[in-house]
Amino acid sequence: MIIRAGALGMALLFCVSCGKKEGGAQPGASASASASPPMMASAAPAAAEAAKTPAGSPPPDGKYERVTVDGVTVPMINVMNGGAAVLVDTDGKKPRSWEEQYKRKRELPAGQFDVHKTNTNNNENFEDDKIDKEGLWIIDAKGNITKH
CA distance 128 to 122: 11
* Residue 131 pLDDT exceeds 60: yes
Q: What is the pLDDT of residues 47-102, one digit of tens each?
A: 444 445 555 678 999 999 999 999 999 999 999 999 999 999 999 999 999 999 99
Residue 48 confidence (pLDDT): 47
- Please state whether beta strands 145-147 and 131-139 pair in parallel, antiparallel, or not at all (unpaired): antiparallel
CA distance 61 to 84: 10
List, as one string, the DSSP characters of 110-127.
TTEEEEEEE-TT-SS--T
* Residue 135 pLDDT exceeds 80: yes
Of 61, 60, 79, 57, the residue nearest 69 (C-alpha): 79
Please tell me which residue, 110 or 29, carries the higher pLDDT value.
110
Q: What is the pLDDT of residues 6-47, one digit of tens each?
A: 444 444 444 444 444 444 444 444 444 444 444 433 444 444
> Is the CB of residue 100 less than 8 Å from the CB of residue 122?
no
